[in-house]
Structure formats: C-alpha cells, structure tokens
Amino acid sequence: MNQFNYIRPSKQQAAIDAVAKDGNAKFIAGGTNLVDLMKRGVMAPQKLVDINRLPLTKIERQGNALRIGALALNSTVADDRQVRERQPLLVQAINAGASAQLRNMATTGGNMLQRTRCPYFYDTAMPCNKREPGTGCGALEGINRMHAIFGFSDKCIAVHPSDMSVALVALDATVLVSGPKGDRRIPFTDLHRLPGDAPEKDTTLEPGELITAVDVPDGPFTKHVSYYKVRERASYAFALVSAAAALDLDGTTIKSARLAFGSVAHKPWRLTAAEQMLVGKPATEETFRQAAAVAMQGAKAFKHNEYKLKLAPNTLIQALKTAAAA
C-alpha cells in the first residue's frame, strides 16, 4: 500500500473541496472495496477524505419517497422498518450482497460506487483499460466467464458488481449529489455509464462530487417482488446473473412491472421494454418467458460466458415466478 494523507472533515463542503482540489484524493466511507484495491495496488490515492463524520446516515420520508442517506449502512437500510415495508425489493437485493460483516461496514453511497471484480482489473500484472487506460482489455479474449453480455465495448467487458444498485435502478431511484458546482439530482439509470472509450470512468460523477443520498419513490411494489441472484455458492459470492422483478398485480393481471438484470453489463441493466410488454398480461410462466425473450434482445456473449444467454432469461423467469407467488 502507498503512503497517503488522511483527513476526516466534519463539514460536507470541506470534504468536497478536499477532493475537488486534489486529483489524487478519494472519498472513503466503509472502505470495504477501496482498502482492498489499495492493498492490491489497483488504486493508489495520495489522500483519503474520510466522510464518516458527515451527517448523512438518516433514512427518512421526503415527499413521496424514502430518502436514504449515503452513509446509511447496508445492514441498517435492510433492517429499517420503513424500507422493509415500502421497498422489500431493495431489502432483498442488499441482503443478497456480500456478507453480514461487510454489510455492517458498507454504506449506501459506497455500494453504488464499488468497482468491478474483473480479475484483470485486480491484477496489476495484467492488461486492463479500466485500471490503466491503453493497456488493453485482458478479459476480451481471456477468461471472461463473469463478463458482460450487454453494453460492452472493445475497450472493456467488465460488469458492475452491486446487487443493491440493481434494485435501485429498477425502482426508479434518484441519486442526490453535492459538488463544487452545487447540488444536482441524477436518475439512477444515469449514474453508471457504459465503458465506451473511457472504461476508467465508472460513473457520471464529476470530480469532487459526493453522493449524499438516494431517493426511492413510493410505488405499488410492496408485495410481489423478488431479487433472484444466481451464484456458485449459496451466499457471499458475486452474481453470475441476478434479476430484480417487481410486479403490481390486479388479481392475476399485471398492472405494471419493474425489471433489471445484474452482472450482465458495466451498469445495472434496466429492462424497460420487457416491463412494458408485461403490462396487461396474465402473470403466467408463458408471459414471463416472453418478457425474458424481450429482455435478452441485443445480448451477445464471449468465449466463456455464453451460458449467460440462457441463464439470464431463466433467472428473470425465476424472479418473476417468485415475485408473482410472493
């Protein structure tokens, strides 16, 4: 690990200024990902700005939304009564991620900003455009079993690893950001970006911008929800594929639906076409199969992840079946 400076401001503006003025500074909250990356030599910030003293831990009603502070711990959010009542899909997604110990450290903002688990990104002896632009994508013709089937470029085929973000993108969440140029709101679907020619950039955040909260709007998705995560063991593993499904049912007829995939792209992958296709249809396996087929349009596999072309739709069908039966 490099030597670095460490500050722990108690004012939000001081934290933002510290990072905005120093290109080699990084915010740190739970540190569950950044510290690992520093130990592995993947990231070497010269300054860490610890934001844990900022008052960003609240979970509260704000108009027709639940506002979750960026420093609210994953475990706190998943255990919160209001979140459990209003957003059970989010609770399922959070609890599908990492381990209890990590969820006790990881924050809401940090979870969104965790970096890919691509092994080429993690190994400094391997090529990786995300870690070191211009070195090439090791995964493109390498071991790409865990990699993207949507939205990739020839510069990067990594996937975003967050479970929580898959639920947030499905639930039309909005990210609240504060930065050197003031505050702004980012629709969750626009927070993460596709790799294109600049895979080193995971998000649309500007330098020094700090996530302060996420708003999750109230909706009818309080019962028929499922976050279904397929992985190689029963717990504590990144997804091969995950699917978030939320249904608003009138009897057996689907009034509206929210769907997203995880671990298929550089960002959590919202499935709006499939959602629209479901509206007004009966909640049957046949309908779910049709929706899954729509969801998979445009998917393309690499040498080792061809299975995702089948596993992804199957996981979505399973999530929809589980949601409908909930």
Cβ atoms of 119 and 159 within 8 Å: the answer is no
C-alpha triplet 165, 228, 73: angle, nearest 5° = 40
Q: Does 47 bind another protein (CB under 8 A)?
A: no
* Candidate segments 22-30, 69-77, 107-115, 138-146, binder of another protein by CB under 8 A: 138-146
| Adjacency order of strands within the sheet including 241-250 | 224-230, 241-250, 253-262, 269-270
107/30 Cα distance (integer angstroms): 6
Which CB sits closer to another protein, 147 or 258? 147
Q: Does 154 bind another protein (CB under 8 A)?
A: no
Annotate each residue in 82-121 with x if it binds another protein (CB under 8 A) or - if it does not, as one string.
-----------------------------------x-xx-
Question: Least distance to another protein from the beta carbon of 318, Å?
Answer: 5
Cβ atoms of 120 and 126 within 8 Å: the answer is yes
Token readout for 73 is 């711990």
Among the listed residues 237, 293, 301, 326, the single contact to another protein using CB under 8 A? 237
Residue 38: strand, helix, or coil: helix
Question: Least distance to another protein from the beta carbon of 15, Å?
Answer: 26
188/64 Cα distance (integer angstroms): 17
Bridge partners (DSSP) of residue 270 are: 260
Q: Does 162 bind another protein (CB under 8 A)?
A: no
Burial bucket for residue 39 (CB in 10 Å: 0-12, 13-18, 19+): exposed
79/63 Cα distance (integer angstroms): 22
Q: Does 302 bind another protein (CB under 8 A)?
A: no
Q: What is the DSSP string of 162-195?
A: -SHHHHHHHTT-EEEEEETTEEEEEEHHHHB---
Among the listed residues 191, 311, 323, 324, the single contact to another protein using CB under 8 A? 311
* Candidate segments 6-14, 64-72, 276-284, 314-322, binder of another protein by CB under 8 A: 314-322
Among the listed residues 157, 296, 317, 324, the single contact to another protein using CB under 8 A? 317
Question: Least distance to another protein from the beta carbon of 62, Å?
Answer: 35
Q: Does 234 bind another protein (CB under 8 A)?
A: yes
End-to-end CA distance of the chain: 47
Residue type, 283: A
Annotate each residue in 21-40 with x if it binds another protein (CB under 8 A) or - if it does not, as one string.
-------------------x
Which CB sits closer to another protein, 30 or 142? 142
Q: Does 293 bind another protein (CB under 8 A)?
A: no
Considering only residues 203-232, where is the footprint of another protein by CB under 8 A? Answer: 228, 230, 232
Please report, as ranges, the residues that interact with another protein according to CB under 8 A. 1-3, 40-41, 117, 119-120, 122-123, 125-126, 138, 141-143, 145, 228, 230, 232-238, 240, 307, 310-311, 314-315, 317-318, 321
